[in-house]
Amino acid sequence: MRLSVRLAALFLLPVSAAAAASASGAGRWDRRAPMLTERTEVAGAALDDRIYIAGGLGPGGATDAVEEYDVSADTWRTRAPLPARLHHAAAVVVGSRLYVVGGFDPAWRPVVSVFEYDPAADRWRRRAPLPTPRGALAAAVVEGLIVAVGGVGPEGDVAVTEIYDPGRDRWARRTPMSAARDHLGAASVGGKIYVFGGRVGGRNLPISEVYDPSTDRWALLPPLPTPRSGYGVAAVGPRVFVMGGELGRPTTYPDNEEFDTRTRTWTARAPMPTPRHGLAAVTVGGRIYALAGGPRPGASFSAVNEVYSPD
């Protein structure tokens, strides 16, 4: 079957295939100390038991603010700001360093910037730029390499896959995804990158696919039951959780759906207490922290910090 036919079939699935089951979904949500500032479209990642939230959009527009959350103490503090005001960027951790990749500048222009943060020194530095400027992209790490996919470039949505080697400070282009899209999410499990949903042309996509860097190949997966974009995504062991999002409904999505990479099946889980889009979902100690994000579609902001404990 041709790929175009397979993708077309995905769009025939109901938008809320798992919604009915979500009310009785497994797992538990709890509230934690809110962030110091309200934001959406943030970049977030964890280093040990610290979570870093960088950039985003707040009531005053694009920000360079960086906040550090101590999971054990349930406290926040301000850290050195980003070298530039950014939103819709991606954040990952390699070794003892945090990387913030791509995004939009205050004028909503896609950027090529890559910033590396040293928490011990509380200092940022610039690294080799993205080959393709883009915002609303996704990134994940496999074997010490950063894989950046999709997003919005100067000419529109892209399907680009680019890999960064921090040791060599060098980017390389690889096989693109099956379809261009933005506001997507990615998670790393078992040496592969899992990518779900996103949107193009104002329409959410149900596409799910997996990338194997060792073979430089993409493969389609069972589609996301609830197509959405601007959601949070995080892995706990072999399971990937997609939570929140926007577009296609008059409200933000509370849906929390689990993809088991072993069985390649989807299961609805306990919905988010505070539905949001543009949030960061970060795993620490087997639990997922859902941070910031807009409670309403479009320009809205929050400082919400809720933690999800799977079964």
pLDDT tens track for 49-101: 999 999 999 999 999 999 999 999 999 999 999 999 999 999 999 999 999 99
Residue 22 region by backbone torsions, left for phi larger than 0, else alpha for psi between -120 and 50, else beta = alpha
- Confidence at 1, pLDDT banded by 50, 70, 90: very low
pLDDT tens track for 114-167: 999 999 999 999 999 999 999 999 999 999 999 999 999 999 999 999 999 999
pLDDT tens track for 226-238: 999 999 999 999 9
Q: Centre a 10 Å sphere on the Cβ of residue 188 and count the other Cβ atoms it contains.
A: 19
Task: Look up residue 14 and give its amino acid.
Answer: P
Residue-wise over 97-116: b if at least 16 C-beta within 10 A, else e? bbbbbbbbbeeeebbebbbb
**H helices of the chain, where?**
3-10, 19-22
Entry pTM? 0.92
Q: How far is CA 19 from the centre of its chain?
A: 21
